[in-house]
Amino acid sequence: MTLETHDDGRVRVITINRPAQRNAVDPATAQRLFDAFMAFDADDTVDAAVLTGAQGAFCAGFDLKAAADGVARDWIAQVDIPGGWDDAMAQPLPGPMGPSRLMLRKPVIAAVEGHAVAGGLELAAWCDMRVAADDAVFGVFCRRWGVPLIDGGTVRLPRIVGQGRANDMILTGRAVTADEAVAIGLADRRVAPGQALPAALELARDLTRFPQGCMRADHLSARLSPRALAAALTREWASLGTFEQEGIAGAARFAAGAGRSGRFDGA
């Protein structure tokens, strides 16, 4: 299975399980993520969730091999919303990475080991808090491939780290270590390698102790309104055109083996 779920008391743990792809998300996994978080939000037996990745990686973004072979085009066409984003808020639909259009009632904590990059960074930013291991790496690595941020990254990242730091990350696509992530507010907790999930579980259990109605009301009030989120995501979605112009070619270069050195010069 590319996605695993289990409950720890009143906490649901959702694990992306594609370790050979560093937990990059393909369309089938995106749909499973969406379904899993919709089920979590509707389930009265759980109050918080932890999102993590299997075997030492959080998520390397959208699976560019799927993008290169055309599968992504079908998926993008499926998740497009011709009627507008207000319709999506009324009747939630998946984003390219899965749950990125959802505004849940309950908190979700990201447990980040290894890479949380490109769409994986967007998933981490979608979560309400982030626990990062010392070996965690964040970054807009899709910059090198001409693949735009279309899962809320340009909306949520500036609200988390501030506009200036978000500009730095978005424009340069550089790697951000756990040290820097904590310093700029991208990570809320920092732990030793291998301890992100236990620490995130402990934090989530703490949240379940509180009166849930009050906590959820404050949580909702602190975020963008659904209408404001819809407007911001609408503007971001306009970047999708660059995927056809540059991203498909970039994905093909990736699938052919380019960039394995980790350099940002297109090699």
For residue 122, CA distances in Å to 52, 161, 214, 239 come to 13, 13, 27, 15
User: Hey, what are 85's tokens?
Assistant: 């984003």
According to the model, what pLDDT value does residue 260 have? 57
Task: Give the separation between CA 47 and CA 195, rounded to whole angstroms.
Answer: 22
According to the model, what pLDDT value does residue 234 have? 84
According to the model, what pLDDT value does residue 254 have? 64
According to the model, what pLDDT value does residue 22 have? 95
Query: Cα 44 vs. chain centroid, distance in angstroms?
Result: 24
Query: Cα 59 vs. chain centroid, distance in angstroms?
Result: 8
For residue 46, CA distances in Å to 8, 41, 93, 186 come to 9, 8, 22, 26
Residue holding tokens 């998520």?
59
Which domains does the chain show, CATH number per domain? 3-256 (3.90.226.10)
User: Hey, what are 207's tokens?
Assistant: 């949240």
According to the model, what pLDDT value does residue 2 have? 96
According to the model, what pLDDT value does residue 86 have? 59
Q: How would DSSP label each residue in the chain? A: --EEEEEETTEEEEEE--GGGTTPBPHHHHHHHHHHHHHHHH-TT--EEEEEESTT-SB--B-HHHHHTTHHHHHHHHH--TT-HHHHHHS---BTTBSTT---SS-EEEEE-SEEETHHHHHHHHSSEEEEETT-EEE-GGGGGT----SSHHHHHHHHH-HHHHHHHHHH---EEHHHHHHHTS-SEEE-TT-HHHHHHHHHHHHHTS-HHHHHHHHHHTSPPHHHHHHHHHHHHGGGHHIIIIIHHHHHHHHTTTTTT--SS--
Residue holding tokens 């808020």?
89
Is 76:99 a contact under the CB 8 Å cutoff?
no
Residue-level pLDDT, tens digit, the chain, 267 residues? 899 999 999 999 999 999 999 999 999 999 999 999 999 999 999 999 999 999 999 999 999 877 666 677 778 778 876 555 555 556 788 999 999 999 999 999 999 999 999 999 999 999 999 999 999 999 999 988 888 999 999 999 999 999 999 999 999 999 999 999 999 999 999 999 999 999 999 999 999 999 999 999 999 999 999 889 888 988 888 887 776 667 566 656 766 666 655 554 544
